[in-house]
């Protein structure tokens, strides 16, 4: 982002929004190296909605320092949460654990909640929110229900709970894009289910006692025509901007 991009049209500083990211093998030009990365759709969604995106790859320490300067946090999608975090044996269909990322995002999540920092969990991010508050996950949904062919999103409709913060953003229902084979099972402490799919799968959660702490099972960053969730996160983040 350029220096002028840090200020919005109203003259206020654009909220700094942290986005958790991967550490994985990647290839570009003549290089094939370990890299810290996140799909560009997350970066574009934050920037398009009035925020300044800041990537947060797993790293040792520094959580408090980072959250002291951030105005909001996106827990991005990614690999399965380690079942050991909710005291379960791994299903054969659960992916290999990514413990450094689990540990890093857990620290960010708890510190953000303690600060009442605006938070949006996406797919894995919603599942981690549930797990870190004492909930559990269904480790595999029926085949070809929420994840069909590799790297292709499934589109379906979710029903949103009336009176929830999510309903204030999206209304009573929304058409969404999902790609997941796991889902929320037992709810974590303080969480409320605020959207479900037609098959009953939990599609959204929120903490009603926080300023803005939502989790959605779908991928809103993939739909540039519907920026409402990112707008809501960044609007909440504006309250922390000095």
Residues marked active site are found at 123, 219, 221
Phi, psi of 173 (to 5 degrees): -160, 160
């Amino acid at each position: 982002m350029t220096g002028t991009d840090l200020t919005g049209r109203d003259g206020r500083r654009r909220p700094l929004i942290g986005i958790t990211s991967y550490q994985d093998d990647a290839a570009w030009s003549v290089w094939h190296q370990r890299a810290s990365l996140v799909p560009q759709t997350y970066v574009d969604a934050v920037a398009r909605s009035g925020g300044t995106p800041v990537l947060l790859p797993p790293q040792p320490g520094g959580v408090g320092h980072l959250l002291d300067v951030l105005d909001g946090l996106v827990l991005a999608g990614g690999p399965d949460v380690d079942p050991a975090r909710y005291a379960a044996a791994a299903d054969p269909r659960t992916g290999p654990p990514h413990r450094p990322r689990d540990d890093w995002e857990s620290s960010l999540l708890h510190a953000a909640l303690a600060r009442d920092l605006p938070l949006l969990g996406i797919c894995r991010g919603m599942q981690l929110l549930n797990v870190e508050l004492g909930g559990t996950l269904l480790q595999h949904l029926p085949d070809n229900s929420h994840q069909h062919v590799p790297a292709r999103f499934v589109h379906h409709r979710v029903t949103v709970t009336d009176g929830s913060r999510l309903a204030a953003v999206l209304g009573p229902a929304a058409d969404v894009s999902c790609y997941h084979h796991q889902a929320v099972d037992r709810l974590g402490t303080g969480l409320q289910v605020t959207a479900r799919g037609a098959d009953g799968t939990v599609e959204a959660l929120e903490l009603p006692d926080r300023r803005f702490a939502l989790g959605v099972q779908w991928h809103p960053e993939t739909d540039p025509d519907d920026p409402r969730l990112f707008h809501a996160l960044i609007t909440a983040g504006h309250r922390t901007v000095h």
